[in-house]
Amino acid sequence: MTTDSPMTDEAVRGAGVEVKPVAGHIGAEIGGVDLAADLDDAVVAAIRAAVLRWKVVFFRGQRLDHAGHVAFSRRFGEPVVLPRRGKASPPDFPEIETTADRLELGGRFGMEHDEWLRRRRHTLLRGWHCDHGARVDPPAATILRAETVPPYGGDTTWANLAAAYAGLSAPLREFVDGLRAEHRLGVGYQPRPGDDAYVRHLLDRQVATLHPLVRVHPETGERILYVNGYYVEQIAGLSRPESGAILEMLLEQAVRPEYTVRFRWEPGSVAFWDNRATMHLAPGDTAHLDHPRIMHRVMLAGDVPVGVDGRASEPITGTAPGRW
C-alpha cells in the first residue's frame, strides 16, 4: 500500500473522520473523534489507515483517563506490559508507563534528569530513536497522552523513515538494501567520568539485536530506512570508520526537515505513531523551565522486522520475541 492508496482514503471518508495533514510527508491531525467513546469499527479502520499513511496522527482536546487510554489502545493491538516502570506510573494499569520529566531519573543514578538527557544527546543525532529499538520485536506503535505540559516548549518531533528511504538515490538504496546493523541498548549514552551508576544499570540489562538496515513494513510493504541515533551501534561487515560515516549520512538523510513533523502539545493531546516507520526526538528544552510535563504512553506489541532479502532480525542478547 502506498501513501496514495485509494483504500486509505475510502476508509477515512466512509467513517466520517476528518484528517488534516500538517506536513508534506508525515503527520496529520484527526478531528471529530472522541477517543473515550465506544468507537465503531469503521472509525477504528479510518484511524489505522491514517496512521499507516501519515505515520503519526494527532488528536486534541481528548478526555481520556487511564482506563480509556488502555481501552482505545486495545482496538489496535495488544498493549505491552513492561516488567519495570517508574514510580510515577499508575499501579493499577500495567499497560501504561508515565513519563514525568522532573521526576523520572532525578537522583536515581546520582544525576538529575537534565544531566541524564544531555549525556544521551551528546551529539545532535543521538536523541533520535524508535521505542525499544534494541529489541528483536520493537513495539509496532505508541500512543502517547499528555496530562500536564508547559505553557511553552516540550514539543516532540517525528521523522518518516519510509520517505527518507525513498529520497535516497537509486544506487544508495540498492547498497543499503542488503546491509544489517547492530542495535544495542545504551550505545548513545556518554558516561560520566569515573564510576557511573547508569552505565552499570545498562550493563546489567543489556539488549541487542541484528536488524536489517532496510526493513519491509508488514502492512504497507514500504521499505523503511531502519536507523536511529540512540540504539544503532555498527553496520555488520563494515569497518568502524566506514560504518560511522554511512550511519551519520543515513541519519542526516532521515532527519531532513522535509521528512519531519513537530507537534505542540496541550493537555488532552494524544499522538499515535507507527514505531516501525518512524523515529522521534523527545524535547530537550524544558529542563530549565519550572513547569511539569507529565505524559502517559501505551505501546503495542510488534513483530520481528524482516529485510528486503526476507531475512528476519536476529537477537544477540537479552531479547526474545514476545518476552518483555
pLDDT along the chain (324 residues), means of 10: 45 79 98 96 97 98 97 98 90 92 61 76 84 98 96 95 98 98 89 87 90 98 96 95 96 98 98 98 84 94 98 97 95
Amino acid at 12: V
Specify whether domain 9-317 bears CATH 2.40.110.10. no
Active site (annotated) includes residue 201:
no
Amino acid at 65: D
Annotated catalytic residue within 131, 132, 137, 274: 131
Number of H helices, E strands in the chain: 8, 16
Active site (annotated) includes residue 131:
yes
Annotated catalytic residue within 25, 217, 280, 296: 280
The total of other beta-carbon atoms located within 10 Å of residue 69's CB is 25
Contact 61, 168 (CB under 8 A): no
Rounded CA-CA distance 122/140 in Å is 28
Where helices occur in the chain by DSSP H, the ranges are 6-15, 41-54, 66-74, 113-120, 161-166, 170-177, 197-204, 240-254
Enumerate the β-bridge partners of residue 246: none
Place of cell 542488503: 178
Contacts of 92 (CB under 8 A, 6+ apart): 66
Which pLDDT score is estimated for 177?
Answer: 98
Active site (annotated) includes residue 311:
no
Which pLDDT score is estimated for 294?
Answer: 93
Active site (annotated) includes residue 129:
yes
Annotated catalytic residue within 120, 129, 215, 293: 129
- Taking the CA atoms of residue 130, residue 135, residue 136 and residue 141 in that order, the dihedral angle to the nearest 10 degrees is -40
